[in-house]
Structure 1
């Protein structure tokens, strides 16, 4: 499909630079196949779901994966993208033309890394020096990796360390937040439990590739970056049992959806999974495991805009985005939410 089919104009003032407080007071647009759009709030979620439904969250934890350093006199920026092993990460590098294989980058605070290898996409393998865990080094020298559309408008600050982390965050490794879950609070989770709506977690370490624009003119020519995820056998069994009993699996965020679909067989059964996924979901995809999606509003021409169009239909989603823009919904990572129920 042509990528420009997923383009739209977004007023810059609708890009949210901070989340609302409290988190569950964000607005939420409800999109169904056969009903008018409903303007709701995240707090309305329990009444929009049925007893027996299950929300599936991503429990990855965002690490301060953005680093600023020097190679000699040259300024080098690095955003870690994907862990290779205990001391090596693949990273997107700013000012990469000033960096060669074998160069050492000094990130300050006693943190340095060798640019070990350059990849075909221009990223580098960075090998961190010393014996301290890389996560400890990042806490000392790194910053939270805010999306470019926020970082380009204001500097990262201490508030972001809390704001850009979900209440479910447990496992270090993401360089971008699973932002749909930023809207959840303990009070909202209690209300969902009272409604007999279940909650399950899986782990997908979101990579910086999620922010990369689609440069190809046709979706067939776009290569997705791989991300590592895991679904336990116990979680898979509970999800299958809930669905067999008539409950719907509602993915909270496109990361949860992508991992569920990667773990599901053609029979719709979710299986234990541990490994990389580079699944690219575009219109025409036959969903196996997911019955709905809660997600924020996405960038034009992005793989995520293609994913929601695959779930609900391209024209339906273009109409939904036009509705959201006309009514002043806040967009992107710190913005408002949508509940998509095909």
Structure 2
């Protein structure tokens, strides 16, 4: 395996880690309006992800930076062609971050409701747009002989990509519901489990259509295996959730996200952005990669920095591992 193949795998791992962690993060944001019945319950949901949401976004920054350094042609074509969707995602992430920090700065209910609405809306939009973006990356877009995007904004919202958006939205919300059941106490925990059961079935139907479509279009043996793991993990997550085993349910819902995203990258390889105009104009791990020397330096840097980041994030989740409920807010003075 050459270094450009290694870096394709590493970038895939970064995106998988991002969607695993930020997936339940976005899902909890969506549930602040779907599950929570009052402001106290919304506070509980927000507090379950309050200590970790910003750390989860490190994976996105790392994935973007690694793509820029390891595959500059991929980065240039992707970010120029998908400029508007990425701009909307960026603005939503900024507003979402501000909402987490500013929501409790003033006591007025109207002030806090506006920021809570911002958390919900941005979570829905970003979760949906990530599916649209990756649907287009895997399906392919109009790339010309100069490695430039030759399509328009409307081309990105095709049926396959829109289905991908619905899959990520429902799958992340299911993942978030399972996480909520794992992290909360009392009535909200029970309702989260019931909602997770419904969301899991909806996400399963949509994901089955999307992943089978992907397999029929670009699939291979490795992607078939990943698809099988995703299906088995989703069934296991639903069974564990039904049995009240929240820890196992969250583990398996995470495996579902990991396997589904892994399948997309396995189906994509060795391309990084297929061209729908001519296969010869597709961006691949070979023609889009940086020089071998650059990849070698990046490999040494990643080998040093990655374990540190993983240890720090693991420690953060360990520190904030306890369940919380509405009584916890009153006892701790939490916001």
Q: Calculate the TM-score normalised by the size of structure 1.
A: 0.28
**Greater helix share, structure number:** 2
Q: TM-score scaled by structure 2?
A: 0.29
